[in-house]
């Protein structure tokens, strides 16, 4: 039951955002009562934290092979594959980050993930914030269905630009 609640919460948060989602709607999608949902998650905020933490772990785990190889092009390819394979999760995370109230709820989790991500990105570039911003922009436009260049051309362009910056340091 807990896994089903989690899956439906991911769908609901992805579709309606945190504030648009209700525990009553979640219970309806699960086929149970709101009180039963509260037996597993004491509040909507705690459910959000669990969905966010688990989602971030899933993304990180899927990118781990690229991190080990220290290959910028391989990492970028892994990110794009992960976005394409987990659009609902990425969409939810992007929506949540844009809501100040949600950011306050998730603040410790956001900070930890950001710190870990920047540490990972230092393996690829002397400008990890720039790499993060580029990946974030590509991800957001991909989730919105904005036409993009071929994946190999996109990866080549980003990697070439970052490598040129690194060479100047």
Q: What domain range includes position 66?
A: 48-167
> Closest by alpha carbon to 21, among 97, 83, 92, 89?
92
Which pLDDT value is given to residue 101? 83
- Sorted by sequence, the CB contacts under 8 Å of residue 59 that are 6+ apart come out as 82, 86, 89, 90, 93
Assess if residue 140 is contained within a domain: yes
59-108: pLDDT as tens digits: 888 777 656 667 888 888 888 888 888 888 888 888 887 788 888 888 88
Residue 95 in domain: yes
Residue 30 lies in a domain: no
Q: Is residue 8 part of a domain?
A: no
CATH number at residue 96: 1.10.357
12 in any annotated domain: no
The count of domains in the chain is: 1
Do the domain assignments include residue 9? no
| pLDDT tens figures, 127-166 | 888 888 888 888 888 888 888 778 888 888 888 888 888 7
For the ranges 21-30, 53-62, 158-167, the one whose mean pLDDT is highest: 21-30
**Integer Rg of the chain from CA:** 18
Run of H or E residues at 124: none
> Model-level pTM?
0.78
**Residue 78 within any structural domain of the chain:** yes
Domain presence at residue 103: yes
DSSP state string for 110-138: HHHHHHHHHHHHTTT-S-HHHHHHHHHHH
Are 138 and 154 a contacting pair, CB within 8 Å?
A: yes
Average pLDDT across the chain, whole number: 86
Residue found by looking up tokens 């089903």 in the block: 4
């Amino acid at each position: 039951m807990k896994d089903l609640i989690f899956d439906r919460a991911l769908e609901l948060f992805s579709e309606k955002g945190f504030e648009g989602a209700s525990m009553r709607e979640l219970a309806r999608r699960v086929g149970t009562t709101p009180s039963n949902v509260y037996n597993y998650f004491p509040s909507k905020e705690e459910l959000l934290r669990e969905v966010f933490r688990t989602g971030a772990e899933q993304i990180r785990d899927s990118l781990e092979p690229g991190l080990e190889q220290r290959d910028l092009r391989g990492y970028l390819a892994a990110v794009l594959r992960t976005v394409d394979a987990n659009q609902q999760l990425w969409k939810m995370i992007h929506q949540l980050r844009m809501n100040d109230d949600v950011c306050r709820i998730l603040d410790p989790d956001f900070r930890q993930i950001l710190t870990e991500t920047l540490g990972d990105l230092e393996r690829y570039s002397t400008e990890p914030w720039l790499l993060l911003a580029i990946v974030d922009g590509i991800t957001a436009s991909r989730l919105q269905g904005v036409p993009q260049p071929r994946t190999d051309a996109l990866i080549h362009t980003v990697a070439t630009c970052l490598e040129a910056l690194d060479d100047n340091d």
